[in-house]
Structure formats: structure tokens, C-alpha cells
Amino acid sequence: MHADHAAVVGIGIEGTVAPHCSRDTLEVTGHYERLEADFKLITSLGVKQFRYPIPWHRIERERGRRDWKEMDLIMEYVGAFGLSIIADTLHHNPPPRFENAFLNPALIEEYPDFVEEFALRYPEVKIYVPFNEPTATLDFCACRKWWYPYLSCEQSYVTMLKNAARATSEAIQRIRAVVPDSFILHIDTAEHHKALDRDSVTRAHFLNERRFVFDELLMGRVDETHSLYSYLVLQGFDRAELDWFSNHPVAIDARGLNYYKLNEEELQGGVTKNAPSLNPRGFASVALDYYERLGLPLRLTETNIQGFIEDRISWLKYMRSQYEMLGSILPAGFLYGFDWYPLFDCKGWFSLLQADEWPWDPQGIFWCDEYGERRSSELSHWYSHLVQGGSWEDITPYRFQPRIEEEVQGFLRQMQWEWQETRTTILP
């Protein structure tokens, strides 16, 4: 691992485009009109390194015609504030112009071309996230019918996996060629599936294997000995196409883990019974699965909880305690970063971007009022405290509001604190 990637507390700005309506979370939260102010928020916390979703859909509205003016301005602010950007070059979805999204094989050619031009234009960018959360994204698109193109079909999932993994692998190879000292941070969910009955054992095992398959394709580890090899071939992943990944492995420098209360579920009758799990293992335990399987340095790249400021403060305390627990178990240097996500409240995630209306989603380190103005709070104070090297033990644990306490009841056993009563009566 590069010496300059020592333990950091970072942050991220959420930016996803919904292909079915072309609506962009950065646009609806007013970020493009508040660029300077939003970057000032980052520096006000003391954060130096942050994730940013590169808006491919705005840069290249038409195939092959790229307008970098807006991105140039963004990078000017990054430089002016002395920040280091982690570039999310594909944050969930490709541009809406891609008919059928990840089923479209044009992604394999066009995405690496876009990434290469970005890397050539901004050589100061060293850290790349080539595809944020592929496992969850492809599941939403191809299995659960939540995201465009709204399918529920294993064959479609495998076709999307094949195209997305090939495009990502090609993009990483382009980055390495243009930026030899680049750092590839592959980010995906940190999840676990538990069977509650005999009928769910096979399904839980499959999902617990599937959570690694994107990583292992990129790393060239999916051969005939892989647990999902037969499944992939049966669902249309040609053996010669699988061999391509084995013959073109790419190096991943670290694995980013996104962990939320829904990342652990319990299955009954082969389907979800409890999500969140009523008996969660917790972030530290689940993260160990990824270290043991992949052998990569880890970073907590996303976490939050939707609710009052005090709810978020208590979740921050919990996640930082889990992070420190994990750090005490892993070898030195194998846990190197902690990131809450996002910087300020977003819109649309209450419905996973599916609803017609996108109200404010209370999840950021800074809360947004009805006019979209970013506001500081005790939460931003505590986050700055962590950035400056302060202990999670100093953070005040507030009792969760009843709705959230019910949702996280399984986690409460891991929070043995002297609770303070919540004071807030409105969401901020």
C-alpha cells in the first residue's frame, strides 16, 4: 500500500443519476450552484481527502462529444482548497443514453474511453473508484426490478455482470497506463446473508459467495475451481469470456466497504425475512470476511443512518467503535480510512431514487434546510473531532428515536453505553 495513504478520516459527496428520469442527485440538491460553498464545508471539517462522483452523464451527453468546462471548474476548486479527490468515475449508473444500461455492450468500449480522457486531462488525480457498488447496483437493476431496466432474471444479472466487469477491468488498465502511480480503490457493499431455516441455506450461501464475484473477476480469480463458475456458465457467461479475466487480471490496491443497517439480512423460505438483521454480526465481523477472502487493505468508505442529528451521532459512535475494533484485529496497515457518506443531506434515497418526488433525505454530516442551505450541528462538530484525531469514546450516545430504535434493535446489543435522551423534535 502506498505510504501516503495512511489512516485518514474522509468524506464523500453523493451523486447518482437515475436513468429512468435523468434526474441527478447533485443537481436536485443544488450542488452545481454551490460548488465553492460545498468544498468549503469539506475544509471546515479539516478533511483533506474526499470522494467525488464524476458526472459522466453531464460531460458526455452525446456519444463522443465531451464538454469538460464544468469539471474543469470543479477541479479548480479542489486545487484551490488544497483537497485530494478520490474520483468515482462510475457512480452506480451509466448515462441515461445507454439503452438497457449494463445490458448494453457498448459500455465496454465507451466507458474506458471516457476514463482514459479524464485521467489524461487531470493527472493530479491519483485515487480512482472505477465502479461504486457493482454488486448492489446490478442486483437492483437485474434481480429486484428496482432500477432501470427493471428486470428479475439471473441471466440478465450475469450479462450485466459480464459487461460491467469487463468495462471496469478495461478502465483500470487505461488508468494504470496513463497514471502509473494511481491507486485503485474498489468500493462495494459489505454484506452478509444468514439462513433462518433449512430452505434458505442454499440461497444464503449463494449470496455470500456472490458478494465477492465482481472483485474476483477483476483479480483474475474466477476459474473452474471457483464456487460460482458453473452458475456463471449456466447463465450465459461464456468460458472464453471468463478466461479473458484470468488472462488479464488487474491489481486492486484496497477494498472499500460500504456498510449500512440493511447490509445484513436474515432469510426464511429462501427470501428476505429480516432486513436489518435481528442478529447482526456488525461491521467489524463482516469486514473480516472480505480481508480473509481477498487479502486486501480495507477502508470503510460509506456509512450513515437516516434520522435526527442525534440518531446520526449515535450511529457515528457505533461505526467508529466497530472500525477501531476491526483495526485491532487486522495486521498493521490493512485498515486505513473511515468515511461517513454523504457530506450533506441528499434527496431521493428514501425511495432508492424510484419515487416521483425526491424529498430531503436526512443523512448528511451537514443538514439542509428547506431552501437547500447547508447547516452545521453537533454532528459536524463530532465528525471534525474524529478528523482531528479525537476518540470515538468522547462522542455523546443519544437514544435513538423509537422508529429507528426498532430498526436497529439487533445492533443495540453492541452498544453498551450510558444513553442520553434525544432532544430533537424536528429532523435537523
> What is the rounded distance in angstroms from the CA atom of residue 368 to the CA atom of residue 328?
36
pLDDT at 73 over 50: yes
Query: pLDDT tens, 202-232?
Result: 999 999 999 999 999 999 999 999 999 999 9
pLDDT at 141 over 90: yes
The one-letter amino acid at 379: L
- Shortest CA distance to 106 belongs to which of 93, 97, 118? 97
Query: pLDDT tens, 386-413?
Result: 999 999 999 999 999 999 999 999 999 9
pLDDT at 427 over 80: no
The one-letter amino acid at 309: I
- Shortest CA distance to 207 belongs to which of 154, 155, 244? 154
> What is the rounded distance in angstroms from the CA atom of residue 240 to the CA atom of residue 350?
41
pLDDT (0 to 100) of residue 204: 98
pLDDT at 425 over 60: no
- Per mean pLDDT, which range of 7-11, 125-129, 155-159, 389-393 is the poorest? 7-11
Which residue has cell 474522509?
Answer: 10
> What is the rounded distance in angstroms from the CA atom of residue 353 to the CA atom of residue 349?
5
Assign 76 to helix, strand or coil.
Answer: helix
Q: Are 24 and 95 in contact (CB under 8 A)?
A: no
- Other beta carbons within 10 angstroms of residue 3's beta carbon come to 6
> What is the rounded distance in angstroms from the CA atom of residue 30 to the CA atom of residue 23?
12
CATH homologous superfamily, domain 8-414: Glycosidases (3.20.20.80)
**The three cell numbers locating residue 163:** 459487461
Which residue has cell 444464503?
Answer: 204
pLDDT at 6 over 50: no
Residues whose CB is less than 8 angstroms from the CB of residue 236 and which lie 6 or more positions away in sequence, other chains included: 155, 158, 159, 162
Percentage of the chain modeled with pLDDT above 90: 96
pLDDT (0 to 100) of residue 4: 38
Percentage of the chain modeled with pLDDT above 70: 97
- Shortest CA distance to 213 belongs to which of 261, 174, 158, 265? 158
Query: pLDDT tens, 236-280?
Result: 999 999 999 999 999 999 999 999 999 999 999 999 999 999 999
pLDDT (0 to 100) of residue 423: 74
Average pLDDT, rounded, for the chain: 96
Say how far residue 224 (Cα) sits from the centre of its chain.
30
pLDDT (0 to 100) of residue 422: 80
What backbone torsions phi and psi does residue 9 show, to the nearest 5 degrees? -110, 115
> What is the rounded distance in angstroms from the CA atom of residue 290 to the CA atom of residue 279?
20
- When pLDDT is cut at 50, 70 and 90, the band that residue 424 belongs to is low
- When pLDDT is cut at 50, 70 and 90, the band that residue 428 belongs to is very low
Query: pLDDT tens, 302-356?
Result: 999 999 999 999 999 999 999 999 999 999 999 999 999 999 999 999 999 999 9
What backbone torsions phi and psi does residue 323 show, to the nearest 5 degrees? -60, -45
pLDDT at 106 over 50: yes
> What are the residues facing 18 on neighbouring strands?
23
Structural domain boundaries in the chain: 8-414
> What is the rounded distance in angstroms from the CA atom of residue 56 to the CA atom of residue 306?
28
